[in-house]
Structures are given as C-alpha cells and as structure tokens.
C-alpha cells in the first residue's frame, strides 16, 4: 500500500504485517531451495526415503499420527521419483512442497476468511512472520501444522452450514490434527475459540462434534499402526520433554523478548513527543539497533535450537488465533449475540425467544404500537414496555463508533400505553 493511502497507524501496521508475512513465505521457499535445506538434519533421512521410494516402511509407520505430512508432502515426492526415475527431482519436489506450506496456508486463509477487514488473515501473516523463522530450516512437522492452523480457523468460523461446508470443516480439522501430535492442542484451541460465539452457535456445535470424530480417529490410528519397539520409547521421551522450559533458554528467544520490550518502552516515550508517528520512529530505532547487533556483536548460531522451538508454535500460535477469533467475532457482532444469549439464560423470566435486532431488521411480532394524538410530555412517553427485569435491554454494537443499537427482547413482550 503506497504511503499516501495509509490513513492511520493501524492501517500502516496492518499493511506491514501482511507484507512481512507474505515476504517471509516467499523467502522461505527461495532460501530453502537455494541452500538445499531439505537435506538438513532429519531432512536428510526423509530425502533418502523419498529417493528409494520407501518413505512409509523406512520411518513414517512409526509416526502414524503425522499422516498428513506423509500424504501431502512425502508421498507426492515419492510418486514423482517413480514417474521420472530421477531421485534428485523427487528430493527437490519434497523440499518445495514442505517450504511452500506457509505461503499455501496464507492463500487458503485469505480465501476462507470472511471477517471484517480480513482480521484472521492479518493475524496469520503476523504469526508467520514472527514464529516461522524460529524453526525455519529444521524439518519439523509443526511447520505444516502452523500452516494448516490458520485456514482451518477461518473455515471453522465461516464455512457454510451445509453438507459441503461441514465436510470441508471436518477435512480441515482432520488434516490439522494429523500433522503432529502437538497439533491436537491447536485443534482443541480452534473449537474453544468458536465457543466465543455462544455454546448454542451452530459453528461451535459442528466443530465440537467433529472434534469427537478427530479424537476417535487419532486413537484408532495409534492403535492400528503402533510404532516399532525402539521408536515407541523414543517418542515417549520426546513427548515428556516437549514442554520443557529449558527449550526457551536460547539466545534467539532472549533477543526476541528484548526487542519487544525495547519497542514497547520506545513507543511509550515517543508517544509523548510525536504521538502521530511514535510507532514508526520506535520501529526504525529498533531495526537499526538489531542491524548493528547482528552485524557487529552477535556470534550465536541458531541451528539445532530450531528443532526445540517447535514448542513455541504449539504455545504461541493458539494465542494469536484466540486474538484473531475474538476480534473477528466482535466485529461481526457475534460476540454481542453470545452475550445476549448468556444473559437470557441467566435471567429468571421465561423467554420463549430472544432475538437480536440490528440495522434494517424486522421485529417479528411482540410489539403493539400505541397511536396518540397531541403533544407534550405525555406524548413522549407513549410507548413503554410492560415486562420487567431482563426482558428489554439495549446493547451498543460498537462503543467506538456511532452505529445503531441492538435491541434484545422477549418475543412475547407486549408494548402498551401505561396511561
């Protein structure tokens, strides 16, 4: 977005985050293929399995809970080797598919996101720019889990309530859950975010039912395709240390937290001197300081630590997702509807129907307008509710802008002239 069209700091931040997420997504593919990162660490083992066309028997039957990675990335590369007879082409294709996942995830999120101002897509770009570089280069399946999380979140919120929409949500949640065992945390978090719409909301009920299917499928696959005896012990030890706090005791994490704190302090100080451009000046100062540190002072190597920081994806990604879902639901007006539903459920009146009336809506009965001629104070009080308690409430749609209010009322309420 050109500078003259940026109207506020929020517009600038939104544009910056989208640009950063997309640039990183393209950069991942270019850097990985140029430096053959598909051969780094465990990637060498996976590449060999692709070359000999035996990925499942070689290793993947031991990690059947990561079936999505096998079906979406490794199996197509193995098929390409069989079709072309060129192992190097299959290995290159494996690397391309693996490192293309973040960009594909952002494109899918953009297509599925129907929220106001595409807020879920913006948070997806932010998460990609901040979290994915921490694990970039190491072939962790959580890389694909992060890429699948965001389009799955958008689809779960905005897929149509039809058979096709339900099938799409089911397919997305299943694919996400089978990227990595840690992705079950992401799956749970998506369903929990839908609860913000209300426990009676159709999207939440649909996702909750699908979650039961996902958990049953995960358990069935683990039972039907168990790992070998050696790998069973290895996987148990890895699971026990997955959330070890020592994982975050690396230089890159300390630098990241220091950068965030420094930016916050600078923003606080500069907001008093230049309130209109404080965010920009703070960002420039932090960027210059980071450039000097990296070019002159930093000698740390963030190599094998990338593998352990996959835990950050499991912990921080749901946080970004929760913020995205909260803002999306609020801007769609669904948060107010859920609040009205909870209030009505807690009230003591017997309310056969609670509705939400917004802009240009029709009120289906329950009102008896009274016509009175004349003027004066009595004329201004000509319509009053006869019900009591929580039957009649006004809830503003947005406290920051001037918009029509939402009227929540009982269907059976009668409006009569009290005189």
Angle at which helices 163-177 and 183-194 cross, to 10°:
140
Are residues 156 and 173 in contact, defined by beta-carbon separation less than 8 angstroms?
yes
**Spatial CB neighbours of 336, under 8 Å, sequence gap ≥ 6:** 356, 395, 397, 406
Q: What is the pTM of this model?
A: 0.78
pLDDT of 392 > 70? The answer is no
| Mean of the per-residue pLDDT values of the chain | 82
Confidence of residue 213 (pLDDT cuts 50, 70, 90): very high
Is the pLDDT at 217 greater than 50, yes or no? yes
Averaged over 110-132, what is the pLDDT?
A: 96
pLDDT of residue 134 exceeding 60: yes
Read off the pLDDT band of 61 (50, 70, 90): very high
- Asked whether the predicted pLDDT for residue 406 surpasses 50, the reply is no
Q: What is the band of 8 on the pLDDT scale with cuts at 50, 70, 90? A: low
pLDDT higher than 80, residue 189:
yes
Predicted confidence (pLDDT) per residue in 262-319, tens digit: 999 999 999 888 888 888 889 899 999 999 998 888 877 776 678 778 888 999 999 9
């Amino acid at each position: 977005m050109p500078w003259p069209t940026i109207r506020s700091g929020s517009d600038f931040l939104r544009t910056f985050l989208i640009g950063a997420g997309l640039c990183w997504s393209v950069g991942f593919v270019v850097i990985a293929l140029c430096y053959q990162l598909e051969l780094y660490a465990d990637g060498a083992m996976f590449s060999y399995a692709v070359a000999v066309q035996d990925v499942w028997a070689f290793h993947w039957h031991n990690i059947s809970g990561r079936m999505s990675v096998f079906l979406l990335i490794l199996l197509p590369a193995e098929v390409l080797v069989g079709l072309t007879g060129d192992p190097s082409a299959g290995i290159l294709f494996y690397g391309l598919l693996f490192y293309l996942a973040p960009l594909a995830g952002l494109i899918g999120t953009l297509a599925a996101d129907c929220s106001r101002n595409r807020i879920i897509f913006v948070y997806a770009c932010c998460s990609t720019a901040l979290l994915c570089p921490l694990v970039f280069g190491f072939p962790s399946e959580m890389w694909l889990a992060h890429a699948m999380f965001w389009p799955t979140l958008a689809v779960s919120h905005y897929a149509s309530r039809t058979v096709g929409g339900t099938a799409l949500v089911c397919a997305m949640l299943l694919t996400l859950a089978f990227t990595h065992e840690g992705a079950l945390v992401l799956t749970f978090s998506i369903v929990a975010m839908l609860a913000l719409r209300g426990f009676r909301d159709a999207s939440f009920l649909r996702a909750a039912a699908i979650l039961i299917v996902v958990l049953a499928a995960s358990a069935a696959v683990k039972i039907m395709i168990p790992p070998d005896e050696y790998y069973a012990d290895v996987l148990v030890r890895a699971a026990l240390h997955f959330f070890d706090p020592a994982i975050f005791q690396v230089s890159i994490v300390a630098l990241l937290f220091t950068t965030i704190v420094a930016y916050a302090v600078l923003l606080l100080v500069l907001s008093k001197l230049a309130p209109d451009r404080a965010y920009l000046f703070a960002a420039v100062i932090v960027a210059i300081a980071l450039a000097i540190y990296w070019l002159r002072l930093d000698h740390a190597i963030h190599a094998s630590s990338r593998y352990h920081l996959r835990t950050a994806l499991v912990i921080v990604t749901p946080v970004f997702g929760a913020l995205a879902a909260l803002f999306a639901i609020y801007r769609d007006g669904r948060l107010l509807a859920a609040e009205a539903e909870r209030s009505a459920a807690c009230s003591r009146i017997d309310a056969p129907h609670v509705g939400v009336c917004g802009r240009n809506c029709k009120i289906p009965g329950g009102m008896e307008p009274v016509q009175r001629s004349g003027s004066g104070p009595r004329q201004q009080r000509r319509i009053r509710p006869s019900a009591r308690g929580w039957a009649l409430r006004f809830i503003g749609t947005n406290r920051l802008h001037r918009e029509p209010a939402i009227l929540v009322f009982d269907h059976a309420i009668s409006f009569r002239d009290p005189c």
